[in-house]
Chain A
């Protein structure tokens, strides 16, 4: 092929799913990635992939309930039609992955096994040990290799996406990229570009993300005019192991299989965890959330862990905050068959066998619910019109976004094991729409565009690269700037947020951004120069970091992962029943008022001077009405009761 018809940027689950589906639909596809696609960050996903299944169905589950759990878990911030379509496709996606050879765990009778995950009461999660993401990634990698042999896919492994190429009408006609070995910069024409570049954990310094998750692709699209939505919604996973280079995830599946979170009731009890008797342990999640227990959604579990350490002073260690995640009571055979992958990670890095001793864990930045704004085409029934080019298309015509780098499916908080299904779904679902787009391309295909369009784009990026190499030696060190950015973002923009801190941090981030523009390179060579690739990625972290901070600053409420104590709902804690009822009424008034004000998507556009400008869009909640998100917290029943009474009254009033 002279050039691909479609360029997919990113080779994780979403990018690979899109690539193989587009190839099947007959298009020539380019697949660009920083590393060989088999090494993508999807490999780090551990616990599993959600869908309704034959067993849960017989317990009363349905696609609708998967949809409902997802939007309730996301605090109703996501548009509902894409989520409904996702839940409807999910069982078929698992079937497909099974056919592609994914080694899903089996029941004794040979069916796919499932376990429970956070934010649901059903066992919806299919899994392959505790390396499900890796296994799904490999199955898709293998399919794409098959298409590569069949000459329908051309890989651009080891290429750094520098930016989309937009024609004078603002339509995307390809991209500019740099080979990270030869450092050659090329303008690559294509009729459409799909970005599937994953998350942006690097703006928080250390996180559970892989090194490649800098957010640079999303940022470069943002800087080229793409909108970035709900950036302030960043998932902090409750259970990770702190490390000098990375915070390593210990999957929610540890709790799905019966793992329990606790702290000693006596502060900083020095006895080994196994020697602390049951009655002296505080299982704070189980105590506070008897229905969901250790499997409350991640935003809630994280805040509870944080509070137990910070407010209640019950951290296991005095200097370093952590709580116990305990699987040592579970049968060894079960642990080895279902959780070996994560237990080995703990053992290798901590030198302690979690099959015998409780693990010490603490929350870590994990996932971006926000991402590039993209569209969808709704049917009258509330699903998606499959084959419509509007699905997953950003505001830049011809530029699509899928996977973690879009903002579509998870609202204010993502449920565990929903990311893998959303990545594969968005990849499969975008493909027919892209075919429609390519077949009805205004202004003709990329091959008919003037060559000056591509020459100019290439020259602009070449000039930028040359300027980077020519920077003087006396500037700041880019690695130290990155460390400071990460510490700052982690301190002010993760679990608990305060406006004063966010405001101050915004100013400091602007200073760091200015310094990053002057940062010196230690390597000025023109061969496999990782220094320049990093310095460029660092520069591009700032627009996203600013969008996160600005979005968080302006959103004066608590929703999902975004929590500001100043705007927390009022307490319902009176002992007197009448007073308690009154408090619950106030609580519900506040809830309704807050939704009128804040149930809307944050949409950031980058101004000419590099400042994110925030506007808001209404959220399509036409399928199920937002309701208080309590997860059966102890003492929350009175709120549930008041809410139900109100809904019943509204329903009877609306009757003729």
Chain B
């Protein structure tokens, strides 16, 4: 619509015949596939108003030419909503984990003129270029049973009444996009790569992968989801199951309290508060189980 609106040259792209008013360099850490060596490549991108790192990558995909004029395969990246609600476009931008859609070019260049550096998250296996395999995030949600186990989807009336205060608190945690920023920043969350073995069915592979993930640290996002679902009036009925998961191998005890997670969360979820509260609940739960033996 804004094209139509301007009633002027609808195309915001620069005319390729004239030299660009201003351009900047983008340095991208690339990798052709899992297990392969990574390498840097530089691109030059013409500056336009209102650019973010998504539009930078779109331009690079369109031209597929490096700064020194070599034709290369276009850079591969993940994105979808472009307004920071889907969690897809997480990457490391100028050394900081964040979303490409809200990483505005003018702000990046103001802090560090001339060059923007993009690299894939380091805690997840690279599939290609900036795309990583984050299935471990969803595996953790399975492990902690992050859902409300309702009887059925038939009509059984509404949910419980809740105070505004409870709703506001739950809403903080329910905005988690499973984007992985908190995991990238966490010193205890280490990269695990489970390669598919020859002759393995997809089901066998998934089971083996899940088992491996289950033994490693689940991360702040999953702990916060336990807090969320255990605070839900119906979810609370199964709180013990989630607390069991929380104190199992790879659970909350692995947290080293570095508090990096809360600093990088794009939704400002109070992750460290969640960890403290869930930790207390988990301790009480363990003690209670011990005394009840």
**Contacting pair A138 B174 (CB below 8 A):** yes
| Chain A residues within an 8 Å CB radius of B62 | 477, 479-480
Interface check B211, CB cutoff 8 A? no
CB distance from A464 to the nearest CB of B (A): 21
As a 0/1 sequence over residues 466 to 495 of chain A, the CB contacts with chain B under 8 angstroms (1 = contact) are 000000000001011001000100110011
What is the chain B residue whose CB lies nearest that of A236?
B1
| Chain A residues within an 8 Å CB radius of B55 | 244-245
- A341-396 residues with Cβ-Cβ distance < 8 A to B are 341, 345, 348-349, 362-365
Interface check A272, CB cutoff 8 A? no
CA distance A572 to B152 in the complex (A): 55
CA distance A240 to B79 in the complex (A): 20
**Contacting pair A106 B86 (CB below 8 A):** no
A-B contact pairs, 14 of them (CB 8 A): A20-B153, A38-B86, A38-B87, A95-B155, A98-B158, A101-B232, A145-B146, A211-B80, A245-B52, A248-B82, A483-B13, A525-B73, A527-B33, A528-B127
**Contacting pair A135 B174 (CB below 8 A):** yes
As a 0/1 sequence over residues 135 to 158 of chain B, the CB contacts with chain A under 8 angstroms (1 = contact) are 100100110011111101101111
Interface check B270, CB cutoff 8 A? no
Interface of A is mostly: mixed
| Chain A residues within an 8 Å CB radius of B79 | 211
**Contacting pair B32 A44 (CB below 8 A):** no
Interface check A586, CB cutoff 8 A? no
**Contacting pair A321 B12 (CB below 8 A):** no
Interface check B6, CB cutoff 8 A? yes
A36 touches which one: B10, B54, B138, B167 (CB < 8 A)? Answer: B138
Interface check B240, CB cutoff 8 A? no
What is the chain B residue whose CB lies nearest that of A142?
B147
CA distance A43 to B163 in the complex (A): 25
B73 touches which one: A129, A337, A523 (CB < 8 A)? Answer: A523
**Contacting pair A103 B171 (CB below 8 A):** yes
Q: Which 9 A-B pairs have the closest CB atoms?
A: A321-B5, A242-B2, A98-B159, A142-B147, A110-B161, A522-B64, A479-B62, A528-B128, A101-B148
A38 touches which one: B51, B71, B101, B178 (CB < 8 A)? Answer: B178
CA distance A94 to B87 in the complex (A): 26
A210 touches which one: B86, B163, B234 (CB < 8 A)? Answer: B86
**Contacting pair A99 B158 (CB below 8 A):** yes
Interface check A39, CB cutoff 8 A? yes
Interface check B85, CB cutoff 8 A? yes
Interface check B49, CB cutoff 8 A? yes
CA distance A139 to B10 in the complex (A): 41
> Using a Cβ cutoff of 8 Å, how many contacts connect chains A and B?
238
**Contacting pair A479 B82 (CB below 8 A):** no
| Chain B residues within an 8 Å CB radius of A39 | 80-81, 86-88, 177
B175 touches which one: A131, A205, A212, A319 (CB < 8 A)? Answer: A131
A181-B127 contact in complex given A244-B12, A530-B74, C-beta closer than 8 Å: yes
| Chain B residues within an 8 Å CB radius of A528 | 33, 76, 127-129, 131
Interface size on A, residues (CB 8 A): 90
B86 touches which one: A43, A107, A240, A523 (CB < 8 A)? Answer: A43
- B74-108 residues with Cβ-Cβ distance < 8 A to A are 74, 76, 78-88, 101-102, 104
What is the chain B residue whose CB lies nearest that of A135?
B174
Chain A residues at the B interface, C-beta cutoff of 8 Å: 20-21, 24, 35-36, 38-41, 43-44, 92, 94-96, 98-101, 103-112, 128-129, 131, 134-135, 138-139, 142-143, 145-146, 148-149, 181, 205-206, 210-212, 236, 240, 242-249, 309, 315, 319-322, 337, 341, 345, 348-349, 362-365, 428, 477, 479-480, 483, 487, 490-491, 494-495, 522-523, 525, 527-528, 530-531
CB distance from A529 to the nearest CB of B (A): 8
CA distance A101 to B229 in the complex (A): 8
A99-B175 contact in complex given A108-B164, A491-B4, C-beta closer than 8 Å: no
CB distance from B149 to the nearest CB of A (A): 7
What is the chain A residue whose CB lies nearest that of B228?
A101
CA distance A111 to B151 in the complex (A): 22
CB distance from A357 to the nearest CB of B (A): 18
What is the chain A residue whose CB lies nearest that of B105?
A244
**Contacting pair B1 A240 (CB below 8 A):** yes
**Contacting pair B74 A246 (CB below 8 A):** no
CA distance A97 to B251 in the complex (A): 30
Interface check B50, CB cutoff 8 A? yes
CB distance from A536 to the nearest CB of B (A): 15
A244-B50 contact in complex given A349-B102, A530-B76, C-beta closer than 8 Å: yes
CB distance from A235 to the nearest CB of B (A): 12
**Contacting pair A145 B85 (CB below 8 A):** no
CB distance from B290 to the nearest CB of A (A): 28
Interface check B198, CB cutoff 8 A? no
| Chain A residues within an 8 Å CB radius of B54 | 245-246
CA distance A512 to B73 in the complex (A): 24
CA distance A479 to B80 in the complex (A): 17
**Contacting pair A363 B1 (CB below 8 A):** yes
What is the chain B residue whose CB lies nearest that of A17?
B153
**Contacting pair B58 A479 (CB below 8 A):** yes
CB distance from B164 to the nearest CB of A (A): 5
CB distance from A537 to the nearest CB of B (A): 13
What is the chain B residue whose CB lies nearest that of A322?
B5
What is the chain A residue whose CB lies nearest that of B16?
A480
CB distance from A365 to the nearest CB of B (A): 7
